[in-house]
Structure 1
């Protein structure tokens, strides 16, 4: 299953908002990603039409199983890559930004090799 990087970012952000606030709304996504509300509205419409999210009458967003699978994968990659880069000595903000770029393009094989390396070397401190 392959979707656009921007869609992966939206799904990941919905998951992060749900975990931190207990809910996700379009306005929160726009604010956190630094994009316009109309851009988020178009993206949410596309995600809804493709079966990745659902929206209740109050405008609260939820991930479908299909959307959750992608969101969890992106969040795991982002978290692991950020922690790995920080452990290498990269500044936290730079590590977070770089991980956001890398998480979408890294192959599953390379990501698993990084995770195996981390595990082999006692995890990240």
Structure 2
């Protein structure tokens, strides 16, 4: 059974992957902290928890890589996030920031089945 994530942990993980998609070197805590507007100390605690739960692998220099469990979760959640983001940004014409925030809010709030149902209608 996969360890459950809090909304904050899932948001952190998603944001880390989204902001670092072009960078194959890993997820940097400082980038997530900057994107969320929170302290690096707060993010370090969340990243340590995500590592303990098996979603991330800690590398040198405060870099984190997705574990197999983390990759599995992101393979399921990112397409849902991207579809919702596209809808908000391209169809509803929200700013990129507002579309990202709206998509993240839905992804961390709704369960996976509800997200899939929602995305079928977008």
TM range (shorter): 0.7 to 0.9
Out of 41, 44, 49, the residue aligned to residue 47 of structure 2 is 44
Query: Given the alignment of the two structures, is residue 12 of structure 1 paired with residue 14 of structure 2, yes or no?
Result: yes
> Runs of 5+ in structure 2 lacking a partner?
none
Structure 2 residue aligned with 1:96? 100
What TM-score comes out, normalization by structure 2 length? Answer: 0.78
- For 1:5 and 1:11, the matched residues in 2 are separated by 10
Aligned residues: 118
After superposition, residues 26-45 of structure 1 pair within 5 angstroms as: 26-45=29-48
Structure 2 residue aligned with 1:123? none
Does the Cα contact within 8 Å between 2:80 and 2:119 map onto a contact in 1?
no
- For 1:49 and 1:113, the matched residues in 2 are separated by 31
4+ runs deviating over 4 angstroms: none
What TM-score comes out, normalization by structure 1 length? Answer: 0.77
Greater helix share, 1 or 2? Answer: 1
- For 1:46 and 1:96, the matched residues in 2 are separated by 24
Relative distance call for 1:108 and 1:94 in structure 2 (3 A) is same
Out of 69, 72, 82, the residue aligned to residue 72 of structure 2 is 69
- For 2:112 and 2:60, the matched residues in 1 are separated by 37
State which drifts further: 26-35 or 83-92.
Answer: 83-92
Q: CA deviation at 1:88?
A: 4.7
Does the Cα contact within 8 Å between 1:10 and 1:29 map onto a contact in 2?
yes
